[in-house]
Structure 1
Amino acid sequence: MNSLLSEQILPLTITEKLQLIEDIWNSVVIEPDQIPLTQSQKQELDRRLASYQNIENCGESWGIVKQRIIKHDI
């Protein structure tokens, strides 16, 4: 890292550093198509999307979940 940049960042408070991180992250996600993915990452995203789209994986209704919570059978 550039020493001048280091000299500017190191004295910042934690809050200021976190804000800087957020600002940098926001500038990265503006162009998500520019973020390279490995083949295994692409496969994992495809797997998760297929699982999400699977009708059998739709979860349970609020009524069923509420009954389990009330029965402490979480």
Structure 2
Amino acid sequence: MRTVDEIFNEALTLPNASRVLLVEKLVESLDFDEDITHIDEAIQELWIEEAQKRIDEIRSGAVKAIPGEEALAQVRRLLEL
């Protein structure tokens, strides 16, 4: 049986659109019948940390914010590859 790392590295060779489809299928395959409250809390904590990091980067000038429309256009172009 192949390792998760082997599968991950192989998935990285797929076009972006195929990788998005793979992620969607993997998420759909998860069994959410279990109590995942602790996972939800951990994910929420990670998102809060990520948001704070991004705010700090913008305020420090390390990164430049772009309008949402432009960001979405970039994502759409990437998905067309």
Shorter-normalised TM-score: what interval? Answer: 0.3 to 0.5
TM value normalised by structure 1: 0.40
Larger radius of gyration: 1
| Structure with more relative contact order (C-alpha pairs < 8 Å, separation 6 or more) | 2
